[in-house]
Amino acid sequence: MEKQCIKEYMEMYSKIAYGKNLKYATKPEIWGALSTALMSQIVDKWHDTRKAYKAHKAAYYLSAEYLMGRALGNNLINLQAYDEIAELLKELGVNVNEIEEVEEDAALGNGGLGRLAACFMDSSATMHLPVQGYGLRYRNGLFKQYFKDGGQLEEADEWLGYGDPWSIRKDDYTVEVKFQDMTVKAIPYDVPIIGYGGEIINTLRLWQAEPLCEFNFNLFNNQEYDKALEEKNRTEDITRVLYPNDSNDQGKLLRLKQQYFLVSASMQDIVRDFKKHHGNVWGDFAKWHAIQLNDTHPVLAIPELIRILVDEEGEEFDKALDIARTTFAYTNHTILQEALEKWDIRLMEILFPRILQIIKAIDERLQTELGHKGYTMEKMNPCLILKDGKVHMANLAIYVGFALNGVAKLHTEILKETELHHWYTLYPYKFQNKTNGITPRRWLVLANRELAHLITNRLGNESWAMDLTKLKQLTKYIEDEGFLEELMAIKHEKKVQLAHYIEEKEGITIDPDSLFDIQVKRLHEYKRQHLNALYILDLYFRLKENPELDIPKVTFIFGAKAFPGYYRAKSIIRLILAIADLINKDEGVSKKMKVVFVSNYNVSYAQKLVPAADLSKQISTAGKEASGTGNMKLMLNGAPTFGTYDGANVEIVGESGEENNFIFGLRVEDIEKLQNNYNPRAYYEQNPDLKRVLDALVDGTLNDGGTGCFRELYDSLLNGVNWDRADQYYVLADFKAFKEEQEKVFEAYKNKKKWAQMSLMNIANSGVFSSDRTIMQYANEIWGINPVE
């Protein structure tokens, strides 16, 4: 990349956009000028990539979320221009890290599902695969999290404040999306996805909702200002926030409208492109297209494609259904019933009755097919798309789709054997496993440049960044004390960097020489952040009793957002903050341990936390975590896993060895035996330490700010609340095993060489968890697409 050319473009852009010479530009303005200059350098290759792809079958990835993180640093890594641009910025008197920090994380996702989609986009481009992503361009994303008065509060995530130089608005590809009560414009914004090396640039197309008419001039002229803007506001609400609160009908309608907006715009776009290049030969549609549905959010794409083919292209219904059956594939991300979407039929009737008609016709075909197989109505019931007044989206996806995949070996087996066994007996050939992966470019080359340089130095070149299995060669250094010392020196450096950042952002001082025990992920009861919290409280009580307790100094770090309407998840955050306040203010105990809950956990924060972690907490109830990808990021950066035998933890341990990790607690088969006669109160009564920490929730030891939420949390574990049985995620059953395993962690951490070897074995054996491997399996085994040169 020509450095002088970049500099000249930045100078020109600064004058045009900001009306000033570059030397007077602010850091946000330098970020905008640099990003735009880099965009100018890649546009031709982006165009060439699109042109090359047109001669080949392509895959289209539909997802409600893309948790992208910042673009500048990642794109510089993939362009292999990071050091060159850092040098250019130094000449301008600024540090590249300061410019990176200016950029807001794109607020387009929330948890692992969205981050996986982002990793898949990166890997598709890096592996030269013709894959286009489709999503929504949320103006405000989920929310920005902050803590006040001991609890989580939310505010709008206005990530577009400094503009969006990393996307291009494509007005000429605008489509209209029609609801029963309104028609809106879907405006595409194309985001370049730069493959490693910069030769291939794929596209993520994000749709933004805009009104057909900006405002009603006559109403405005009559001074009815609110009414004049009513349609504009209702339209923009569609892409205003990710996952609007759906606790009432208005929220449900908005969320359903959001989903249909995504799929209708995307299907119209795909059909339009097919007609342009292949005419109306609809029998060939599946030869050129594979559409992957990332969970149930985009499943309405199935009836929407059928609607377009039947109503607009004149195809017969059964032929359109056959086209859909050879085009769509579905990824299941969860066994949790509340996450397998079921929409009220009456809501679909309100928004798009024609789509509901098509779904009813599909359900009729399903019943006819099952009838021919000898199914009674009772046996059909689990498979029905329409039942109990609801549309069951997963059933629609499984029936019509030609492939269904889980995202870890254990998850897929649970789907086949229990949760979706009724489907597996019908269509065993549809079921596949695609264990998730992560991109090593963002999660090691960018996030941990020091470790990446060490690996490159020892392996001789950077090719491992595109073939992560080459990290296996590092095992030859397992007894090399010099290498192990270098490895641990880098870990300490990352811990120092994180400690500085936490002090600056959270106002809490932590010791980089302490064990960094990190649990960062979405807040949900099954992920059991509260099990970790109860253990920490127990450790506090023991340190109060015995200040000389023989443990290494430890810092427990949490990061998570709770959905605004998820009361108990917010209670768990309040609990952890209360425990942190109790411990950090205790002059004696705080010398041995500290607790930090970082605010507004996101991709950029994760890029600081993951390389600094000594220990990776992955403690979900066995059988509940489909896969996890945070566990892979932490493994890649050398943190042993402390976890249950769940999700991808099973495969992590299989790769790096149980002796290099810490596995505890009930397994799936244990829970199956226990669940029908589980009595959490027995654990409470028989374990004095457990009783003490649970009682602390209600005896005044901890302050819940007068909310009563700690009592509710206590009852949820011991007595059951409303329709939930007591301790449905087996927190109390696993407490003793958790505590015993944590003691093993403390003992292992005292042996610095052994800990370094455990860290190395995790890094060296993380190659299989590259999203490059995952995406090639999708390409070869589901989509039927090939790399394009």
714-736 pLDDT tens trace: 999 999 988 889 999 999 999 99
Average pLDDT estimate for 153-160: 95
Rounded percentage of the chain residues whose pLDDT exceeds 70: 100
Q: Apex CA 371: angle with CA 369 and CA 373, to 5°?
A: 75
Average pLDDT estimate for 253-276: 98
Single-letter amino acid, residue 300:
L
Q: Are residues 230 and 342 in the same domain?
A: yes
**C-beta separation of 209 from 140 below 8 A:** no
Q: Are residues 300 and 357 in the same domain?
A: yes
Sequence length of the chain is: 789
Q: Are residues 424 and 492 in the same domain?
A: no
Average pLDDT estimate for 93-116: 95
What local confidence, expressed as pLDDT, does residue 339 receive?
Answer: 72
Domain interval for residue 713: 482-769
The pair phi, psi for residue 600, each rounded to 5°, is 50, 55
Q: Which of 126, 331, 334, 629 is catalytic?
A: 629
Residue 362 lies in a domain: yes
Q: Which of 297, 527, 739, 773 is catalytic?
A: 527
Q: 333 catalytic, yes or no?
A: yes
Q: Which of 521, 524, 528, 592 is catalytic?
A: 521
Compare 245 and 240 and report the one with higher pLDDT: 240
Single-letter amino acid, residue 277:
H
Q: Which of 528, 530, 633, 773 is catalytic?
A: 633
Q: Give the tokens for residue 168.
A: 């291009």
The Cα–Cα gap between 617 and 665 comes to 13
pLDDT surpasses 80 at 158: yes
The Cα–Cα gap between 179 and 355 comes to 10
Residue listed under structure tokens 């473009």: 9
The Cα–Cα gap between 280 and 276 comes to 9
The neighbour count for residue 237, using CB atoms within 10 Å, is 15
Average pLDDT estimate for 631-653: 97
What local confidence, expressed as pLDDT, does residue 723 receive?
Answer: 82
Q: Which of 307, 333, 495, 608 is catalytic?
A: 333
Single-letter amino acid, residue 554:
V
Please name the residue ranges forming H helices in 290-401: 301-307, 317-325, 345-351, 353-372, 377-380, 393-400
The pair phi, psi for residue 464, each rounded to 5°, is -60, -25
Q: Are residues 256 and 345 in the same domain?
A: yes
> Residue 458: pLDDT band by 50, 70, 90 thresholds?
very high
> Residue 3: pLDDT band by 50, 70, 90 thresholds?
confident
Residue 585 lies in a domain: yes
The Cα–Cα gap between 296 and 278 comes to 30
Rounded percentage of the chain residues whose pLDDT exceeds 90: 94
Residue 64 lies in a domain: yes
> Residue 145: pLDDT band by 50, 70, 90 thresholds?
very high
Residue 468 lies in a domain: no
Residues 6+ apart with CB under 8 A from 384: 363, 366, 367, 392, 395
When divided into structural domains, the chain yields a total of: 2
Dihedral (Cα; 349, 355, 358, 363), 10-degree rounding: -60
Q: Where are the beta strands (DSSP E) in 98-200?
A: 131-136, 144-148, 151-155, 168-169, 175-178, 183-194
pLDDT surpasses 80 at 11: yes
Q: Are residues 427 and 491 in the same domain?
A: no
In whole angstroms, how large is the CA radius of gyration of the chain? 27
Average pLDDT estimate for 277-289: 96
Range of weakest confidence among 56-65, 132-141, 208-217: 208-217
The Cα–Cα gap between 449 and 443 comes to 10
Segment (H or E) for 618: strand 615-618
Q: Give the tokens for residue 117.
A: 């989609």
The Cα–Cα gap between 658 and 194 comes to 37
DSSP track, 222-276? TT-HHHHTHHHHHHHGGGTSSS---SSHHHHHHHHHHHHHHHHHHHHHHHHHHHH
> Residue 233: pLDDT band by 50, 70, 90 thresholds?
very high
Range of weakest confidence among 244-253, 735-744, 745-754: 244-253
Q: 0.75 cut: is pTM over it?
A: yes
Q: Are residues 492 and 430 in the same domain?
A: no
What local confidence, expressed as pLDDT, does residue 131 receive?
Answer: 98
Residue listed under structure tokens 């590259």: 770
Residue 669 lies in a domain: yes
Residues 6+ apart with CB under 8 A from 564: 143, 154, 245, 570
Q: 521 catalytic, yes or no?
A: yes
Q: Are residues 366 and 513 in the same domain?
A: no
The Cα–Cα gap between 162 and 140 comes to 13
Residue 284 lies in a domain: yes
Q: Give the tokens for residue 781.
A: 């085994």
Domain of residue 161, CATH code: 3.40.50.2000
DSSP track, 549-580? -----EEEEEE----TT-HHHHHHHHHHHHHH
Residue listed under structure tokens 């029998």: 283
Q: 753 catalytic, yes or no?
A: no
The neighbour count for residue 205, using CB atoms within 10 Å, is 20
Q: Are residues 428 and 497 in the same domain?
A: no
Q: Are residues 358 and 493 in the same domain?
A: no
Q: What is the pLDDT of residues 61-95, one digit of tens each?
A: 999 999 999 999 999 999 999 999 999 999 999 99
330, 80, 68: which is closest to 199 by C-alpha? 80
Q: Give the tokens for residue 155.
A: 């505010």
Distance of CA 192 to the CA centre of its chain: 19
What local confidence, expressed as pLDDT, does residue 228 receive?
Answer: 74
DSSP state of 726: T
Give the residues across from 772 on adjacent strands. Answer: none
Q: Are residues 432 and 519 in the same domain?
A: no
The Cα–Cα gap between 149 and 143 comes to 18
pLDDT surpasses 90 at 335: no
Q: Are residues 487 and 354 in the same domain?
A: no
Q: 629 catalytic, yes or no?
A: yes
pLDDT surpasses 80 at 533: yes
Range of weakest confidence among 37-41, 107-111, 134-138: 107-111
The pair phi, psi for residue 686, each rounded to 5°, is -95, -10
Residues 6+ apart with CB under 8 A from 675: none
The Cα–Cα gap between 586 and 580 comes to 10
**C-beta separation of 130 from 53 below 8 A:** yes
Q: Are residues 408 and 529 in the same domain?
A: no
pLDDT surpasses 90 at 247: no
The Cα–Cα gap between 528 and 485 comes to 34
Q: 334 catalytic, yes or no?
A: no
pLDDT surpasses 90 at 442: yes
Residue listed under structure tokens 């269509």: 427
Q: Give the tokens for residue 79.
A: 């362009």
Residue 631 lies in a domain: yes
Average pLDDT, the chain: 96
Q: 421 catalytic, yes or no?
A: no
- The HSE-up count of residue 459 (CA atoms within 13 Å, CB side) is 21
Residues 6+ apart with CB under 8 A from 153: 145, 146, 147
Residue 443 lies in a domain: no
